[in-house]
Amino acid sequence: MSLELKNVEKKVGLDTHIYSTNLRFEKNTINILLGSTLAGKTTLMQIMAGLHKPTNGEIWFNEKNVTGVAVQKRNVSMVYQQFINYPNFTVFDNIASPLKITGISSDEIKKKVIEVSDLLKLSGMLDKKPNELSGGQQQRTALARALIKDSGLILLDEPLANLDFKLREELREELPKLFENRDCIVVYATTEPSDALLIGGNTATLEEGKIVQYGKTIDVYNKPTNLVSARVFSDPPINISDVKKNGDTFSLSHDSVKWKSKSISLKDGNYKVGIRPHNITTYKEGANSIEIKGKVLISELSGSESLIHFRNSNMNWVSLSNGTHQMNVGQEAKLYMNVDEFMYFDQNNKLVSNV
Amino acid sequence: MNKTEYQKAWLFVIPVFILVAFNAAVPLMTVVNYSFQETFGNNVFTWEGTRWFKQILQSDRFHAALGRQFLFTGIILFIQIPLGIFIALTMPKEGIGVSVCLVLMSMPLLIPWNVVGAMWNIFALPEIGFLGHTLNDLGFDYNFTQQTGDAWFTTVLMDVWHWTSLVVLLSYAGLRSIQPAYYQAAEIDGASRWAVFRYIELPKMKKVLTIAILLRFMDSFMIYTEPFVLTGGGPGNATAFLSIDLVKMALGQFDLGPAAAMSLIYFFIVLLVCWVFYNLMMRNEEQS
C-alpha cells in the first residue's frame, strides 16, 4: 500500500496554491505535513482525499492511478480542526454513519462501534449527542468515525488545534497508538513543530505551496536541508544571523562575537547561521560555548523553561533555557551559545554544514 | 456581600417607565377598561363583567374569522417555509450572484404594505390587471372580487410574494454559517444530497427556522393592511381575517365593548401560540 503524488500542482485562477509536488507515503506510516497557516497543507490533503482535483499531475494509490476518482470511491477518511459530527445523531450513530451506507448488518456495525469507542474512551457516551460532549470527546467521536471505516488513507487536518492544552497533550499521546496495526497511511497536518517531534514518523515541511523537505521526522529536524525547512521546524522561531568566515574564525557581522570553526572545510566568505533558541542559554552548555550579550526585551517563565528575547547586532534573538531564570526587561544579559549545534547555510539558504 | 442602598438609581429608570407606559401599558389598559364595561358616550360607563368575553367566545362570527385566520396562516406557512428553504438552497454561495440575489430577494420586503395590497389589486383585476386578464384569456373564470376561491388564491399568492423573501434570507444566513468541512465530511462518508440536507443543513438551520416560523406566524396571524386593500375582507366575509373583522366591529359598528374583548382574546391567542411553539422548539433544542 502506498500513496504517491506525481508532479501534483494546484492553481486557482492565476494563483498557484500548490507548486509541482512529488511525494510518496508508504504503508503503516504516519506522515506529518508541517507548515504555517496558508502553507498549503489543507489543499494538499484535499487533493490526496480526492475532494479537489489537481490542476496537473497524478495521484496514485496502491500503484493505481486514482486521479479524478470521486472521494466516495476512494476509501479515505478525514478529521478536521473543527469538530465535525452530525449534530442530531447520537455518538453511536455518528460513529456508525460511514458503515451504514455500506450495507453491513447492524450486529456487525454494533460490534465495530463498540470496539472503536473503547479504543477512544467513548464507551460511556454512546447515547449522547455531540453538543453534550466536551471538545475533546467531540474530536474523539470524529476520530472514531475516521477509524471505523478501515480506510487505507486517514487524513488528519490539524485535529488538535481547537483543543485546550491538556486535552491536546492527552490525545496527541494516544494518536500514534490508534493507528498501530492498521493497514493504513496516516497524513497529519499541523503548524506545531512539537506535534511532529512527539508523533515521530515522517515529516514534510511546507512553505507557500512548496514541499521544502521530506524525510524521517528526526532527520528533518536535525539536518534541515535549507533555511526554510529549519525555520518551519522551529518553535520558538530559530535565530538567523549573517556571519563572516575568515580563516578558522566566524564572526557575527555587526558584533564582536567570534568563534573558532572546528572541522569545517568551508571557503571564506559570507554565510548565515541558524541557532535554535534552546542552544542559547543562560548557562554554559556543551564543550564549546561562547558568550553573547544583549539587552533583554521580553522575559517569560513558562513552567520549567525561561524564554528570553534580547537584542544584539541590530537583531532580536530568542533564547530558551531550562529552569527559571528571571531577568528584568532592559537589563544587560549575558547568555551562552552552544557552537556545536550551529547550522550554517550559504547565501542561497542551502545547508552547508552543521558540525 | 453588603449591598448598598442607593434609591436614586430609580431616577434613571423613570424615562423608560414613562415611555413604556404611554406606548404600551396605557393603551392596553384602556382596551381592558372597555372590555368590561358598556359605554354610550359622554364618558358614561356601566359595568358588564365578562359579558363581552362570553359573547365573543360564543359568537359564530368570531369562530368563523378565527377559522379563516388559522387556515390562512397554515396555508402560507406551509408554502413559504419549504419554498423559502428551497430558494435559499439554490442561491449562489459566492461571486457576484450573491449580492444580486440578496438585493432581488429583499425588494418585496421594502415595499410598504398598503402599496403591496394596491399593487396586487390592480395586478389581479379581471378586466384590466395583467394577472386577472391573462388568467381569463387562458380560459379560467377568474374574478377575485366575486369568487371566494379566487379571493383566497390571490391573497395567499400576494402574501407568498411579499414574505417568502424573509424566510429565504434567514435560511440563507443559516446555511452560510455551516462550515464547509461538514459538506466535505459528508462527501467522504458518501452521503446523498438528501442526507446532507436532512442531517446537516436542516439541524444547523433549526434556530433561524424557528425564528422564521415565529415571525411568519405572528405577522400572518395579525395580517390587516394587505387584504384590507386587496379584497376589503370580501367577497362577503370570505377573506375577513381576525383583524379585519375586529376593525369592522370596532369602527364600523362602534361596538367598543365586544371589540375590546375580542382584541384581548386575539392578543392572548397570539401570545399563547408563540409561547407554546417557542417552548416546543426550545425543548427539542435541549434534547439534541
Whether B166 shows a pLDDT value over 90: the answer reads yes
Quick: pLDDT tens for B138-152.
Answer: 988 888 888 888 999
Cα A298 to its chain centre, rounded Å, is 26
Q: How confident is the model at residue A263 (pLDDT cuts 50, 70, 90)?
A: low
Smallest Cα distance from B162 to chain A, Å: 33
Alpha carbon of A168: minimum distance to chain B alpha carbons (Å): 21
Pairing between β-strand A185-190 and β-strand A239-246 as defined by DSSP bridges: unpaired
Q: Give B191 to chain A, closest Cα distance, Å.
A: 8
Q: Report residue B1's pLDDT band, with 50, 70 and 90 as the boundaries.
A: low
- CATH 3.40.50.300 is right for the domain spanning A2-227: yes
Residues of B with CB under 8 A from a CB of A: 179, 181-182, 184-185, 187-191, 199-200, 203-204, 287-288
Homologous superfamily in CATH for domain B9-287: MetI-like (1.10.3720.10)
Look at residue A257 and tell me whether its pLDDT is greater than 70. yes
Euclidean distance between CA atoms B16 and A228, whole angstroms = 63
CA distances from A195 to A301, B58, B109 (A): 21, 75, 53
Q: A88 to chain B: which residues are within 8 Å by CB?
A: 199, 203, 288
pLDDT band at B286 (very low <50, low <70, confident <90, very high): low
Question: Which run of H or of E encompasses A171?
Answer: helix A165-179
pLDDT(B29) > 60? yes
Range A341-354 average pLDDT: 84
In whole angstroms, give the CA distance from residue B143 to residue B235: 10
Q: What pLDDT sits at residue B2? A: 65
Distance from CA of A97 to the nearest CA of B (A): 7
Q: In what order do the strands lie in the sheet with A305-312?
A: A280-281, A332-338, A289-302, A305-312, A315-322
Q: Which cell goes with A84?
A: 465535525
Residue of B nearest to A51 (CA): B184
d(CA A155, CA A3): 12
Q: What is the CA radius of gyration of chain A?
A: 24
Name residue B124's amino acid.
A
- CB proximity A49 to B under 8 Å: yes
Tell me which amino acid residue A257 is.
V
Kindly report, residue by residue over A98-115, the tens digit of the pLDDT.
888 777 888 889 998 998
CB A206 within 8 A of CB A35: yes
Given a cut of 90, is residue A204 above it in pLDDT? yes
Confidence of residue A155 (pLDDT cuts 50, 70, 90): very high
Averaged pLDDT score across all residues of chain A: 88
Q: Look up cell 450573491; give the residue.
A: B98
Q: For testing the chain A interface, which of B178, B184, B188 should be mutated: the one with the most A CBs within 10 Å?
A: B188
Mutant choice from A43, A53, A69, A78 vs B, greatest count of B C-beta within 10 A: A78
CATH architecture of A239-353: Beta Barrel (2.40)
Pairs across A and B, CB distance < 8 A: 48
Question: By the 8 A CB rule, do A91 and A141 touch?
Answer: yes
Asked if A76 lies within 8 A of B199 by C-beta distance, the reply is: no
Contact list in A for residue B178 (CB cut-off 8 A) is: none
Whether A131 and chain B come into contact, CB under 8 Å, resolves to: yes
Distance CA(A18)–CA(A181), nearest Å, equals: 32
Please, which pLDDT band fits residue A315 given cuts at 50, 70 and 90? confident
- How far apart are the C-alpha atoms of B188 and A75, rounded to whole Å? 8
The reported pLDDT for the residue numbered B156 is 94
pLDDT average, residue stretch A228-233: 91
Residue ranges of domains in chain B = 9-287
Q: Tell me the pLDDT tens digit for each residue of B181-230.
A: 899 888 888 888 898 998 899 988 988 998 899 999 989 998 998 888 88
Residues of A in contact with B201 (CB under 8 A): none
**Distance in angstroms between the alpha carbons of the first and the last residue of chain B:** 39
> How far B149 CA lies from chain A's nearest CA (Å)?
42
A9 has pLDDT over 50? yes
CA A152 to chain centre: 21
Q: What are A120-154's pLDDT values in tens digits?
A: 888 888 999 888 888 889 999 999 999 898 888 99
pLDDT at A177 over 80: yes
* Of A230, A234, A251, A231, the residue nearest A242 (C-alpha): A251
Judged against a pLDDT cut of 50, whether residue B288 lies above it is answered with no
Sign of CA dihedral B269, B270, B276, B280: positive
Q: How far apart (Å, rounded) are the C-alpha atoms in residues B116 and B229?
A: 9
CA-CA distance, A127 to A136, in Å (whole number)?
A: 17
Cell of residue B161, nine digits = 410574494
Residue in this structure with the C-alpha cell 567570534, named with its chain if needed = A258
Would you call A77 an interface residue with chain B, using a CB distance cutoff of 8 Å? yes
Cα distances (angstroms) measured from residue A17 to each of A24, A25, A150, A235, B139: 20, 21, 30, 25, 60
Closest by Cβ to A87, choosing from B181, B189, B203 = B203
DSSP string, A179-225: HTT---EEEEEES-HHHHHHH-SEEEEEETTEEEEEEEHHHHHHS-S
